[in-house]
Structure formats: structure tokens, C-alpha cells
Amino acid sequence: QFFVFCHGLLQLSQLLVSGYLKSSISTIERRYGLSSQTSGLLASFNEVGNTLLIVFISYFGSRVHRPRFIGCGAILVSLAGFLMSLPHFITGPYEYDQSVASMFSNTTDLCQPGVPGSQGNLSNAGCTPHAARENHEVLLVMFIAQALLGIGGVPIQPFGISYIDDFASERNSPLYLGILFSVTTIGPGVAFMLGSAMLRFYVDIDKVTGDGVQLTNKDPRWVGAWWLGFLVAASLVAVSAVPYFFFPREMPKERGRCGIAARKDFPLVLLRNLRHPVYLLVVLAQVNLSAMVAGLATFMGKFLERQFSLTASLANMIIGAVNIPGAMVGIVVGGAILKRFQMSLRQCSAMCVLGMFLCLLMAFPLLFLGCPTQKVAGVTYSESSEFGHRALECNLQCNCPEKAYNPICGSNAIEYISPCSAGCRVVIINAGNNSVLNYTNCSCISENGLAGFAKPGTCGTGCSHLFLPFVVLSCLAGILASTSHTPSFMLILRSIQPEDKSFAVGIQFMLLRVLAWMPGPVLYGSAIDTTCILWEKKCDRKAACRYYDNNLFRQRYLGLQFFFEVGAF
């Protein structure tokens, strides 16, 4: 029982490390200028190390000191977690464009006529060979950490489960495994909650004093302390690893049965299972569902942030407290229905089909619940259509740097990429905490012939009224889709020959990894990248996306999700 407790703790903290990356992915994109395709590849990269080794590990399972192997794997995972946070400590402080001269730079992004090109240095400062190299180092470290995370995770689940199953009594074994299984589903939820807590702190909380930060966490330039969660999670893993080095190689069994392990012919069994129509179809359905979940888990937070103008912290809170518990409820309800009605195989498959059909009905309206991108001058909206050529000239004499990004919302409800592009000449500052109250004297924002004013921060999508129905529907769709989880497992376990059982489940997980968990996030990330309308440029290469076409983003992101749901159905 102590082993089960330790293993539950270890699996939870291991999932914290891998799940936490997904919760802070939009923040890491912004901090290091990554496209969603790159961050999707990063998120799925831990599966690579995992897949390469899982077959060997399952094969050698009975011949090694399993607890010690688990302990070593856990230490690797912990190392990976600490490595993930390393980029924060090897790179300089986060720099963003500002209107107020500060300890970092004396350039500002206001409109300053008569100072030709004075802000040129604002945008090109970050383009030294050193900065470019720094960025490659960051990516390299993170990819290595993800690979280590995958490799370290290999022995943890299979060895833990087989160890428990070998030495627990037949009556208790399902209970223990059930406990572990529920921990595995809670894990990601806890990871998103951890993300929600950490991203409320400013990224350089350890490098700058509180009054040096002029951003609030609602600002589009805000970057939260993404690295902090990795330190927390990695420390937890390290602590959970300790007891494993003291467990014996074998335990006295709770109450006896003896079994003999049969050695099998690898290729024969593989072919026999893959030719089995029920097995093959159920695994394909699960591949579709897993591909959907992989994309959802990786980019749902980013989607909520962009579509409903939420902070990263709140988006993680919703996923961790609503969507993931919803999926758990679905899994439990599915299992309970199975047990209560003692279903036959045909009824199991009918239940899967019904669950997916209802899920489709709930998920379809989601495609229409959203708003277009707010009007951004020069990006989604050109004023010249309304005012003749005035719009092009209103900020000509300002000599704005091309790359400045410090969004403001004009009194005419149009967003401008920076105070300079709106022609604002005066900034009004709250003397107490050095934060910007508003910008005035803006030549591009005209109201009744007078120069208008603007507030710092984005105008937002004005979509808050659709947020609640969206969350409710997506949660219901998740509950319905996950009711098919347990019956689909039953279909696999009961339709194949008993001696192939563990092997078939191994093959199933391997196929899910190769066909869904690995390509899923990359596919979603690439689809999201196609909807970007303004890229941040770093050293003349695309970095992170500043603005998406929100309608396209929603249609392609949720459309892919819908496509996979139809596939599973």
C-alpha cells in the first residue's frame, strides 16, 4: 500500500512536469518568439524518447530491479524539469517596448516629430549575433529537456503497474490500479491550476524590483513566471523518487497465486492483433480521439486567451477547474454504466457510438461561438477607406519604428499597435506606481475634429457574452466524448485472446503515441500559424504571432477538433 501511495505521488508529479508545459505554452511562445508549430513540436517532443524505448522496457520488465529503475527514471524526469526552467536563468531580462524611459532603455514609443529615426534603436537592439545565438540555445535546451522527460517517464508507468499487479492480491489489484488511473487523470488538471497560479507573477520577478515592472497581467505584452512552475514540479518529482531506492526487488505476495510468464513470438502476435477487426477499429477510433485531445490540451488556453481576451492565468484556471474535471466525470460515468448494466460487447460499442454522436451535437455550435478580431489600424482595418488619405499621413512625421508593439485602445474603439502609430505625443503617468494611465494628443484618433486620446492595452474582442455558453458546451462535449473511454477499453480487452492482453494494450499505447500524441500538437500548431495576420519579427525572421484572424483561428482550430470527433464516431 505504501508503494501504491508513492507511485500515485510520483505519477502525479511526473504529469505536473509534462502538463505544466502545455499550460504555459502561450507564455513561452511570447517570451522567446516561437511560432505555434514550433511550440507544438516542443510539446510533443517528449513522446519521441518515450516511444523509442517503451517496447524494450515492456520486454525486459521482469528481469530487472523495477523499483530502482523507476527511481532512476524519476531522477531523469526531475532533471528534465529543472532543465526546462534553465533558459530563464541564461537569458537576460524580458524586454518590451515602452512609453516611459526606464532602467532598461531611454527610448520610448511615443510620436516624436523632428527626431528622424530616433527610435530605430528600439526595434533593432535585440538583433545582435549574441541575441540570435541565445535564442537557438534556449530552443536546444528545451528540446533536450523534453527528450529527457520522455525517456525518464518510460519505466515509471509499466514497471509500477506490473510491480503492483505481481505482488497485490487479485482482489485488491484492480482497486490499486484504479487509484493510479484516477491520479493520472487528475494530474493535468493540477498542472493547469499550477500554471494559473504561477502566470500571475511577472516573469522577471527575480531580476527586477516591483516598481520596475510597468505591465499588468492584462497587458498583451505581459509574460508570466513560466519557469517557476517547472521548479516546483521538478522538486516534487525529486522528493517522490527517494523511496524507490529502498523498495525490495520482490515483495511477499498479499495472498497467493502463481502464474508462469509465457514468452511469445513478437511478429506473430503483432499480426494476429492487427488483423483483428474490432481491435483495429477501436484503436483507430482512440487515435482520432487522442489526436483531438492532444491539440486541445496544448492550445486550448491560447485559443481562450485570443478569442475571449482572457489572461493566460484565467484561461488555465478554466481548463484545470472545468474541462478536465468534466472529462473525469465522463470517464467515471461511462465505467459506472458499464458495471451497472453488465453490458455485452455489442452494447459497449453502441454506447461508444452514442456518446460520440451526442458529443458531435454539442461540439458543432462551438464553431459559431466567437467574434472577429478587434479593429486594429493597419492590420485588420484601414482607415483610409473612411477618411481618404488622412490615415496614412497622420503619423508620417512621427518616424515610428516598424517593430514597436505596445497596443493601445483609442477612444474611437480602434486598436493601434503602438502609441506612435496612433500619433500620440503625450503620456500621462500614475506617479504612484509608474504605470501609464492614458495617452493624449493622438493625431490619428480624431473625435469631432479634435485629437483623441487612448488607453494602454488591447481593446479586446468584445466576446465576453459568448464565453459562458462556450465553456458550458465544450465541457458537455468533453463529458460525452469521455463516456466512451472505458467501454472502448473493454472492447479491446474482451475481443482479443487473453494471453495477448498485455501485449495488445502495449501496441495500442504505442500506436496512440505515434499516430496521435506526436503529430497532434504539431498539426494543430501549423493550422493555428496559418491564421496569423501580423508576425513579430526578430532579426528578419518570424517570431511569435501578434494578431490572429480570430474567425479563421476558431474555424481551423475547432474545425480540426470536429474532424477528429467525426473520425472517432
Confidence of residue 390 (pLDDT cuts 50, 70, 90): very low
- Residue 552 predicted with pLDDT over 50: yes
| Nearest alpha-carbon partner for 247 in 174, 176, 167, 183 | 167
Asked if 189 and 15 count as a contact pair (C-beta separation under 8 A), the reply is no
The domain total for the chain is 3
Tell me: do 402 and 367 sit in the same domain.
Answer: no
Structure-block grid coordinates of residue 362: 454539442
Tell me: do 452 and 466 sit in the same domain.
Answer: no
DSSP one-letter string for 197-244 = HHTTSBTTTTTS-GGG----TTSTT--B-HHHHHHHHHHHHHHHHGGG
Specify the pLDDT at position 116: 54
- Residue 502 predicted with pLDDT over 60: yes
Tell me: do 313 and 293 sit in the same domain.
Answer: yes
More confident residue, 351 or 182: 351
User: Of 456, 481, 497, which residue constitutes the final position of a domain?
Assistant: 456
Measured distance CA(128)–CA(104) in Å, rounded: 17
Judge whether 116 lies within some domain. no
Tell me: do 450 and 468 sit in the same domain.
Answer: no
Measured distance CA(531)–CA(548) in Å, rounded: 6
Write the single-letter amino acid at 36.
S
pLDDT digits (tens, 9 = 90+) for 209-266: 766 677 788 888 899 999 999 999 999 999 999 999 999 988 877 664 444 444 566 6
Judge whether 341 lies within some domain. yes
| Nearest alpha-carbon partner for 25 in 367, 302, 266, 224 | 302
- Residue 424 predicted with pLDDT over 80: yes
Domain range for 544: 265-373+462-568
SS3 93: coil
Angle at 126 between CA 123 and CA 127, to 5 degrees: 95
CB contact set of 455 (below 8 Å; sequence gap of 6+): 408, 409, 438, 439
Sign of CA dihedral 554, 560, 561, 562: positive
- Residue 417 predicted with pLDDT over 60: yes
Least confident piece of the model among 71-85, 146-160, 393-407, 466-480: 393-407
- Residue 335 predicted with pLDDT over 50: yes
Specify the pLDDT at position 380: 78
Asked if 196 and 44 count as a contact pair (C-beta separation under 8 A), the reply is no
Cα 445 to the center of its chain, rounded Å: 38
| Nearest alpha-carbon partner for 422 in 386, 484, 379 | 379
Q: What percent of the chain has a predicted confidence (pLDDT) above 70?
A: 87
pLDDT digits (tens, 9 = 90+) for 52-67: 777 677 666 567 788 9
User: Of 252, 273, 299, which residue constitutes the final position of a domain?
Assistant: 252
Judge whether 449 lies within some domain. yes
Tell me: do 189 and 96 sit in the same domain.
Answer: yes
Confidence of residue 118 (pLDDT cuts 50, 70, 90): very low
3-state secondary structure 439-453: EEEEEEEEECCEEEE
Confidence of residue 136 (pLDDT cuts 50, 70, 90): confident
- Residue 199 predicted with pLDDT over 80: yes
pLDDT digits (tens, 9 = 90+) for 241-252: 999 999 998 887
2-to-168, 174, 242, 244 alpha-carbon distances in Å: 12, 16, 13, 11
Judge whether 292 lies within some domain. yes
User: Of 218, 252, 286, which residue constitutes the final position of a domain?
Assistant: 252
Measured distance CA(560)–CA(554) in Å, rounded: 10
**End-to-end CA distance of the chain, in Å?**
40
Judge whether 410 lies within some domain. yes
Specify the pLDDT at position 121: 45
CATH number, position 556 = 1.20.1250.20
Tell me: do 474 and 561 sit in the same domain.
Answer: yes
Specify the pLDDT at position 16: 93
Q: In terms of DSSP bridges, do strands 541-548 and 408-410 run parallel, antiparallel, or are they unpaired?
A: unpaired
Tell me: do 360 and 395 sit in the same domain.
Answer: no
According to DSSP, the residues that pair with 538 across neighbouring strands are 541
Tell me: do 47 and 184 sit in the same domain.
Answer: yes
Judge whether 14 lies within some domain. yes
Tell me: do 181 and 39 sit in the same domain.
Answer: yes
Confidence of residue 299 (pLDDT cuts 50, 70, 90): very high
Instruction: Report the pLDDT averaged over residues 129-136.
Output: 74
Structure-block grid coordinates of residue 414: 480602434
| Nearest alpha-carbon partner for 462 in 371, 368, 555 | 371
According to DSSP, the residues that pair with 438 across neighbouring strands are 428
Tell me: do 439 and 512 sit in the same domain.
Answer: no
pLDDT digits (tens, 9 = 90+) for 15-29: 999 999 999 999 999
Asked if 296 and 304 count as a contact pair (C-beta separation under 8 A), the reply is no
Judge whether 11 lies within some domain. yes
Tell me: do 236 and 328 sit in the same domain.
Answer: no
Specify the pLDDT at position 276: 84
Measured distance CA(476)–CA(137) in Å, rounded: 42
More confident residue, 464 or 379: 464
Rg (alpha carbons) of the chain, rounded to whole number: 27
Tell me the CB-side half-sphere exposure of residue 17, using CA atoms within 13 A.
34
Structure-block grid coordinates of residue 111: 510620436
Judge whether 518 lies within some domain. yes
Tell me: do 191 and 269 sit in the same domain.
Answer: no
Specify the pLDDT at position 391: 46
Q: What percent of the chain has a predicted confidence (pLDDT) above 90?
A: 43
Asked if 413 and 399 count as a contact pair (C-beta separation under 8 A), the reply is no
Confidence of residue 473 (pLDDT cuts 50, 70, 90): very high
